[in-house]
Structure 1
Amino acid sequence: MTTRDGATGSRKPAGPARERVYDWLRDEIIKGSLEGGQFLDEQWVSRTVGVSRTPVREAFHRLAAEHFIQLMPRKGAQVRSVTARELEEVYQARRLIEGHAARSLCEARHGAPGGMTALLEPMERAGRERDWFEVAALNRQFHEVMVSTAGNSVITDLYEGLHSRQQRVGLRAMRARPERVGTVDAEHRALVAALDAFDAERALAVLDEHLRPVPEVVSVLPRGTDG
């Protein structure tokens, strides 16, 4: 089994054991410290995080349901790689949900939620510092504010179900094309401006461009046969 103790380290964050294990594994997979194809052993994870094996099994099942890992009989679990198909499908789902939210906000003449505007500077600063994990986390929050403010609780719940995969896919895309950070920042500001102008068509056009799979990113990912 391949492990990377030096990349992850032992830690005991606060909270229920199953949540500690889940949060730690999810974040390390998103960061890339635990790479696609890597095998995870229950005993190693329990020792690294400082918990028993029962919460590790619970975290494994949750992460498998979210397509972060694949459970392997008698082998533990294997980290899934981000595939081109997954990136395309996550972006497609986001276009549907975020497009509905943007149109709803414009029709209600709500304007851009304050939370979106407040996140612009921190996102841009994290991008200048090449802190891709922070960029991806703030980007997820930025878009979640728009969706939640639109006021449809069912759609918000569906969108929140995407957030970990969204963050992982976004980070992978940014690492593949770091030179796009300026373009992404400009698109975020254009989206805020369109919402403030109650211009639904412009907001949808910005989202279509913003959530368009970039060929140079797609080409470096394995094609994949499932989401």
Structure 2
Amino acid sequence: MSDTSGISAAEVVYRHVKDSVLTGELEGGRMVSEGEVSTTLGVSRTPVREAFLRLEVEGWLRLFPKRGALVVPVAPHEIDEVLDARALLETHAATDVVTRPDDLAALVEALDAVIARQHASLEAGDLPGYTEADAEFHRLVADAGRNSLLAGFYRTLRERQQRMTADSVRGRSAAAATVLDEHRELRDLLAAGDVAAFGRALVTHLDHTHRRGGTR
């Protein structure tokens, strides 16, 4: 969990449960109780209840009185909508950045670092670290475009993207390794300035990872 100094108990619970949902530790369809979280974090049930209500409003949990909270599964229509938006935004950003050699070189260098971090997380069996690096890879591409409005919109997809990746590769090391290989291919196509091939490879990558990768 991130630094919790100076924040309320409800905020601590909120961050803990939300992080657990996003990284796949709490899978879609699982029931979690106030008592379970209260015991884990050493807090009373009141801040847990407050955090659960906040997470229900955001759509991560569905509350059932006296039973606990259901982790809301990722819906198929949400997968389609998120992937379509990501493909459009990342390809648009790639089209822009390849016209700026210095910025493209900096992007490729940053992608190399993220790929190395993602590989290390995979080797260590660190699913949260792996999914965070996956989201960072794609965010770097999206941010490389010079449209701040589109980049801001893309960041709103980050949490959904991270959770979808965790759902897709959990317990499937071969699929996780394939994602890394496809990231390397996307990096190479950007470095070569081949936007058309990058766009095709990106759509294939997203489809392999999330549509055929196990989120349905």
Normalised TM-score (structure 1): 0.76
**2:168 is matched with which residue?**
173
- How much has 1:54 moved relative to structure 2? 6.3
**2:179 is matched with which residue?**
184
- How much has 1:193 moved relative to structure 2? 1.7
2:195 maps to which of 190, 193, 200:
200
Q: 1:69·1:77 contact (CA, 8 Å) conserved in 2?
A: yes
Query: Which sits farther off after the overlay, 191-200 or 12-21?
Result: 12-21
- How much has 1:51 moved relative to structure 2? 4.8
1:153 maps to which of 136, 148, 152:
148
CA RMSD of aligned residues (A): 2.9
Query: Which sits farther off after the overlay, 43-52 or 169-178?
Result: 43-52
Normalised TM-score (structure 2): 0.79
Letter in 1 for 2:213: V
How many residues of Structure 1 are paired with residues of Structure 2 in the alignment? Answer: 210
Query: Which sits farther off after the overlay, 208-217 or 18-27?
Result: 208-217
Q: 2:32·2:70 contact (CA, 8 Å) conserved in 1?
A: yes
Higher helix share goes to which structure? Answer: 2
**1:142 is matched with which residue?**
137
Q: Are 2:27 and 1:26 equivalent residues in the alignment?
A: no
Q: Map 1:78-227 to 2 at 5 A.
A: 78-109=70-101, 110-112=103-105, 113=107, 114-175=109-170, 177-213=172-208, 216-218=212-214, 221=216
In structure 1, the gaps of 5 or more residues are: 1-10, 222-227
Query: Which sits farther off after the overlay, 158-167 or 72-81?
Result: 72-81
Q: 1:111·1:197 contact (CA, 8 Å) conserved in 2?
A: no
**Bigger relative CO (Cα 8 Å, ≥ 6 apart):** 1
The 1:66/1:93 distance shift into structure 2, 3 A limit, reads farther
The percentage of counterpart residues that share the same residue type is 33
